[in-house]
Amino acid sequence: MFKIITDNGSDLPVSFLKEKDIDCIFLSTILDGEVINGKDKQLPAEEFYKMLSEGAKPTTSQVNPEDAKEYFEEHINDADEFLFIGISSGLSGTVGSVKIGAEEIMEKYPDKKIEVVDSLTGSLGEGLLVWYAAKLRDEGKSFEETAKWCKENAKNCLLAITVDNLFDLWRGGRVSRGSAVLGTLASIKPFIIVDNDGTLKVTKKIKGRKKSLGYLVDFLEEKMGTRKAENEQMVMVCHGNVPEDAAYVEQLIRERLGFKNIMISNAGPMIGTHTGASLVIIAFLGDKRD
């Protein structure tokens, strides 16, 4: 059986990764020159967001080719085939680094196969692609079939994003300070998607938190298209440190659309550094992003 690997930008619960025997390569979160979340140390989400609330200003660092080579060297005997699904190349250089590392490893071990898939999304959008890869593997699909499906369907993994605190986006480098000030004064909440290039794009500005959360579900209903009829459709809801808002969105999805397979997860330090605690995301399989 082939090995599935992702990175911590996917925000999948540790329990799911363990259950499905999925490995994780870590991008690092750094504070005052010290790695506070990474390969050798995983910081609980609650502790991380507490640090943010107290004024911490962390940064993140992508995986480099040496990190990737080190991972594959350590795990080379785990399988003959490895499928890595990573955070969008439009958000991080990690996928490019893993490709470089993988090529060097395959030269050294010509009997091994490593396929690198650019998810062209992040957080649970990336996680959703990993979930389907695990589902296909468990159904008996081959390494080649699963990798092909993931590449063909990456742009069908849609992400709908909103935040309540625009200053978190400003600190994460995603909006200007002026936009954060004006938006806060007007109680404006941005609606953000990941486009076909795998980059973040503000497509709508909504007045009020409840309306912005409701619009996530509106977008889900609108963009699922023909995928809505697929069996065992999975919808994922991710939040920073606002479980009550995630629960509200989950309730709307169940009541309005009737979906039963809903995964709730926290955005970890890697994503949370750039979005803050008020982040809420829906990830789902749809017909197209734009």
CATH number at residue 75: 3.40.50.10170
Cα–Cα distance, 188 to 180 (Å, whole number):
9
Q: Is the confidence at residue 235, as pLDDT, over 60?
A: yes
Q: Are residues 19 and 144 in the same domain?
A: yes
Answer with the one of 118, 153, 188 that is the final residue of a domain. Answer: 153
Q: Is the confidence at residue 180, as pLDDT, over 50? A: no
- Do residues 162 and 24 both lie within one domain? no
pTM metric for this prediction: 0.93
Q: Are residues 109 and 182 in the same domain?
A: no
User: Can you read off the two tokens belonging to residue 135?
Assistant: 């589902």
Whether the Cβ atoms of residue 143 and residue 113 lie closer than 8 Å to each other? yes
| Any domain includes 90 | yes
Q: Is residue 119 part of a domain?
A: yes
Residue 237 makes CB contacts below 8 A (sequence gap 6+) with 124, 246, 249, 250, 253, 262, 263, 264, 265, 280, 281, 282, 283
Q: What pLDDT, on the 0 to 100 scale, is given for residue 39?
A: 92
Same domain, 18 and 149: yes
Is 10 a domain residue? yes
Domain shared by 11 and 148, yes or no = yes
* Total domains present in the chain: 2
Q: Please indicate, yes or no, whether residues 110 and 184 belong to a single structural domain of this protein.
A: no
231-253 core/surface letters (b: 16 or more CB in 10 A; e: else) = eebbbbbbbbbbeebbebbbebb
**Judgement on whether residues 255 and 170 belong to the same structural domain of the protein:** yes
Q: Are residues 196 and 266 in the same domain?
A: yes
Q: Measured between alpha carbons, how far is 64 from 183 in angstroms, rounded to an integer?
A: 36
In a domain, 290, yes or no: no
Indicate if 192 and 134 belong to the same structural domain.
Answer: no
In a domain, residue 200? The reply is: yes
Rounded distance between C-alpha atoms, residue 158 and residue 124, angstroms = 9
State the average pLDDT for the chain: 91
Residue 212 CA to residue 224 CA, distance in Å, equals 18
The number of residues in the chain equals 290
Confidence of residue 190 (pLDDT cuts 50, 70, 90): confident
Domain that holds residue 48: 3-153
Asked if the model's pLDDT at residue 123 lies above 70, the reply is: yes
Q: What is the mean pLDDT of residues 162-170?
A: 69
CATH assignment at residue 251: 3.30.1180.10
Which tens digit of pLDDT belongs to each residue from 236-268?
999 999 999 999 999 999 999 888 899 999 999
Do residues 13 and 146 both lie within one domain? yes
Query: Where is average pLDDT lowest: 177-186, 233-242, 261-270?
Result: 177-186
Domain for residue 281, yes or no? yes
Q: Are 22 and 146 contained in the same domain?
A: yes
